[in-house]
Amino acid sequence: MIETKEGTPVLPHHRLAFDELIQASQKACDALSEADDGLKREVLGHAGNRWSLGVVHALGVAGTLRHADLGRRLDGVSQRMLTRTLRHLERDGLIARHDFQEVPPRVTYSLTDLGRGLLTSMMPLWSWVIDNAPAFRAARRAYDADSR
């Protein structure tokens, strides 16, 4: 069983600065719930997707890339999953697909303004994950050690 550990700080009451952020978060959630609850996870779902963030990031850095270029930059991706990912991102308006209608085929992908917005909005979260990577690993170890 997992108990509250002395090393894990669990404050009985919130800090004031955090409370303000919670208020904003509450408002944000309510606004989303009214509009479309599914949309939230659908958009944020790209974060949990294995390749989506890699594609968005690669396009952000390179500007415009072809299918094969992306496949080379994303280590281990199959054509099938790359195509699927690109379709999903395109469907959500995050990337733009440009088919030159040539033979041999030439298709390029680039970020839309929406895609750039997502990338920039992800930045704080991104850096937070990096800063707290050690904390995550420590939590994992503690959990695994405890459940043994």
Partner DNA sequence: CAGCATCCCGTTTGATACTG
Partner DNA sequence: CAGTATCAAACGGGATGCTG
Q: How far is the CB of 75 from its own copies (least distance, A)?
A: 9
Q: How far is the CB of 79 from its own copies (least distance, A)?
A: 18
* Of 104, 105, 110, the residue nearest 86 (C-alpha): 110
Asked if 39 touches its own copies (CB under 8 A), the answer is yes
Query: What stretch of H or E contains 141?
Result: helix 133-146
Asked if 127 touches its own copies (CB under 8 A), the answer is yes
Q: Name the segment binding DNA (CB under 7 A); options: 19-27, 31-39, 71-79, 119-127.
A: 71-79
| x-or-dash string of contact with its own copies, 76-95, rule CB under 8 A | --------------xxxx--
**CB contact at 8 A, 54 and 80:** no
Q: How far is the CB of 14 from DNA (least distance, A)?
A: 21
Asked if 22 touches its own copies (CB under 8 A), the answer is yes
Query: What stretch of H or E contains 44?
Result: helix 37-48
Q: How far is the CB of 133 from DNA (least distance, A)?
A: 20
Query: What stretch of H or E contains 142?
Result: helix 133-146
Q: Is 128 helix (H, G, I), strand (E, B) or coil?
A: helix
